Amino acid sequence: MATMITLPRPAFFTILFLIVLLPSACRCADPDPLQDLCVADLNASISVNGFPCKPLHEVKSDDFFYDGLSKEGNTTNVFGSSVNSGDVRVFPGLNTHGLSVNRVDFATGGINPPHIHPRASETGVVIEGKLLVGFVTTSHVLHSKVLKAGEMFVIPRGLVHFQLNVGKGKALFLAAFNSQEPGIVILPTTLFESKPSIPNAVLTKAFQIDEKFYNIVSVKNKEGFFAAGIQIDAVCNKFSVLLLKKMRSEGKLKEIEISTGDNFQGRGATAFGDLKKLMRSCQFRSACRCADPDPLQDFCVANQNASTFVNGFPCKPVPEVKSDDFFFNGLSKEGNTTNVFGSNVTAGNVLVFPGLNTLGISMNRVDFTPGGVNPPHIHPRATETGVVIKGRLLVGFVTTSNVLHSKVLKAGEMFVIPRGLVHFQRNVGKGKALVIAAFNSQLPGIVVLPFTLFASTPPIPNDVLTKAFQVDEKVISGIKSKFGS
């Protein structure tokens, strides 16, 4: 629509920009290749960004073909779905090419539970069946549609999304990612089954439920998350199996047993050293590596009133730029923490501080009452680093391998949260707490999980959430009611 509408009040534009701008996720994908091919050397002993290249004379045509997506996955698990990843860990020819493909199978009623890919946008095509596909923007708007064979969807990087088989039979789709290894953060698993677990106090406050209730969720989930564990580890698992088979063929391993749940068991002294190395390589890998695009001039103060819509904001004409554009006092005041979470985020991003435009950086202040929680959330476009100014804060994030890293910090101590990963803070001190955080994006975006999952507009259908969290409808409606939907 080219029609220009003149709105009388600038505040309106701000809201408009909030709605229109926030949804776009991370704009860049994996780094570009620097040569024709760099087939992954999956057993190299050095660890680099991606994988080192195999020597050229060892490269075979087979490195550029992969048949692992040809077979239907086993959907006998609580979610009734199976994700088969064709990424660099099983298909070494993809290394440095910033691309991979998954196959996802569904039993009748099966769900691919709400999840996030920290390093890639996704586009997919339904091959068989009828799927409800949805994603939630950082403004908590749910975009969803029922698709049938031949129809496509796109999911911007770092946003929560899901698929549910709403047809009568099986369903299948193929999805492409602009990353050789997009990573996956499965929310039920990340929130309720990380190791060590996210403290109950964080979850009860974040989801506004009582502890008893949470325990029920957790117990009910025990069985289910075993299956989810298989899904999250599938890539690592397959990589392990390939490597183990190779080790066996090289006579390094006498016997191997591959069992679905427990990954594998191996025997032989050499094997164990290699297995440890392998498990380490299956652990946390760095998230999104690039930040906002580089500026092409000294400054480009955001013209938030401009009628054209570009990536970021157009620049104010230079003669109109004032020194005040480069200063902002909005972080000087304590936020009002009288709300259900007992915390308040005051953002110092490009929407309120136009001088940040194109500079790829911004800051927040977060205030906490005693016991206050900054609920589990994700920044789709930025890595975050913060310093505690006052109080004692438990700060934690969960990797794509479902490992929780957390620590109690006091004034002067810092933390870092890799882009796109689920994280939270909780005031565990006796008084108020305050943290100042910096982001490598002018507008990092925020996906607050309680709102995204339970208060989107329109709401995520209950059957998606009941199946994802393995609880009954009453529980889901109960949580939804706490967030006014």
Ligand X SMILES: *[C@@H]1O[C@H](CO)[C@@H](O)[C@H](O)[C@H]1NC(C)=O
In the annotated binding site for Mn(2+), the residues are: 377, 379, 384, 423
Tokens representing residue 283 in the block: 């652990």
Sequence-separated (6 or more) residues with CB below 8 Å from residue 48: none
Tell whether residue 10 is a contact of ligand X (CB under 6 A). yes
Tell whether residue 74 is a contact of ligand X (CB under 6 A). yes
Tell whether residue 61 is a contact of ligand X (CB under 6 A). no
d(CA 357, CA 346): 18
Give least dist CB 47 to ligand X, A: 15
Tell whether residue 323 is a contact of ligand X (CB under 6 A). no
Q: Which of 24, 304, 441, 442 binds ligand X (CB under 6 A)?
A: 304
The answer to whether residues 440 and 292 touch, using CB atoms and an 8 Å cutoff, is: yes
DSSP H or E segment with residue 474:
helix 473-482
Task: Return the exposure string of 53-64: e unless at least 16 CB atoms fall within 10 Å of the residue's CB, then b.
Answer: bbeeeebeeebe
Q: Which of 16, 18, 43, 361 binds ligand X (CB under 6 A)?
A: 43
Sequence-separated (6 or more) residues with CB below 8 Å from residue 99: 176, 177, 178, 179, 180
CA dihedral 302→307→309→313, nearest 10 degrees, is: 0
Among candidates 191, 179, 183, 187, which has minimal Cα distance to 162? 187
Give least dist CB 49 to ligand X, A: 18
Q: Which of 265, 305, 307, 481 binds ligand X (CB under 6 A)?
A: 305
Token pair 């108020």 in the structure block, residue = 432
Binding segment toward ligand X, per CB under 6 A, in 102-110, 180-188, 213-221, 335-343: 335-343
* Of 237 and 440, CB closest to ligand X: 237
Q: Helices in 309-445 by DSSP H: which ranges? A: none
Q: Which of 14, 16, 18, 41 binds ligand X (CB under 6 A)?
A: 41
Tell whether residue 200 is a contact of ligand X (CB under 6 A). no
Give least dist CB 324 to ligand X, A: 10
Q: Which of 24, 344, 383, 425 binds ligand X (CB under 6 A)?
A: 344
Q: Helices in 3-52 by DSSP H: which ranges? A: 10-21
Cα 273 to chain center, whole Å?
A: 32
Binding segment toward ligand X, per CB under 6 A, in 102-110, 176-184, 301-309, 383-391: 301-309
* Of 115 and 316, CB closest to ligand X: 316
Tell whether residue 354 is a contact of ligand X (CB under 6 A). yes
Tell whether residue 335 is a contact of ligand X (CB under 6 A). yes
* Of 304 and 362, CB closest to ligand X: 304
Give least dist CB 340 to ligand X, A: 9
